[in-house]
Amino acid sequence: MRFASMLFLILTFAAMGCAQQPWPQEKPGQREQPVTNEDGGQSYLVLSTTVSLRGILKPGDDTIDDLQQHSIFLGNGWSDPAVRAREARLRNLLSNIREQAQFDEISRAGITNFNAPTSNVEKLDIIGDRKIADLEIQSILSQIIKDGPEPNAGSIYMIFLDPTLHSTLGPLVADKHFLAYHAFLNLGGVRVHYAVVPYQPKFETAYQVALRTLVVAALHSEDQPH
């Protein structure tokens, strides 16, 4: 009994000590993987051993104060009221964080403006029940940007697919090879940063995948060579 009591105290103090330590640092290569896309350029698969951001972001020294999320809800499936109900939280990922630990991790990574301006658009005239490749995504994005305001350096276009559009990236297929990806597109000398987020049946998983994708994309623009 005395040994068991001592062991319990040792484990309790050890757990308290671990809780006071910073989360394990995550290197850039642990959060994304470069791959070649259809046009010969590079895209970046968003990696995750766990969907949640808590404890896996590498704290950064720089502050990312110009990050702006522009959301595109792609596919007719977003006209379904049950699916559309997701948009309210997805279109402003940073301001809808509910876990203080996640908020703290993202702040330590250098993203501090959680209420930056956002925009969103539904693109419902896309035929569903099929695969959608990155080149088509780029074409759709080009038209949307042409008809809207010019992006700034901190703009990231988050493209949320409806349940019937199945993302592909060259030979890679969503859900089998990746959860999401981000890439860059040059439009008239303007470098556009975008991310593609396939549909997830469970909404909390969908939110966490989207949040991680936004943050990974934002950190890439700060700590990776272009």
Question: Which value, in Å, is the radius of gyration of the alpha carbons in the chain?
Answer: 19
Q: Domain spans of the chain?
A: 26-223
pLDDT band at 162 (very low <50, low <70, confident <90, very high): very high
Backbone angles phi, psi at 19, to 5 degrees: -65, -25
Beta bridge partners of 111: 64
As a whole number, the mean pLDDT across the chain is 83
pLDDT band at 221 (very low <50, low <70, confident <90, very high): low
pLDDT score, position 105: 86
pLDDT band at 23 (very low <50, low <70, confident <90, very high): very low
The span from the CA of 155 to the CA of 192, in Å, is 8
pLDDT of 15 > 70? The answer is no
pLDDT, greater one: 174 or 150: 174
- pTM here is 0.84
Give the mean model confidence (pLDDT) for residues 112-136.
95
The span from the CA of 59 to the CA of 186, in Å, is 29
Q: Kindly list the distances between the CA atom of residue 207 and the CA atoms of 29, 93, 160, in Å, as whole numbers in the listed order.
A: 23, 8, 11
Give the mean model confidence (pLDDT) for residues 48-55.
58
Q: Tell me the fold of 26-223.
A: Collagenase (Catalytic Domain) (3.40.390)
Give the mean model confidence (pLDDT) for residues 82-99.
96
pLDDT of 4 > 50? The answer is no
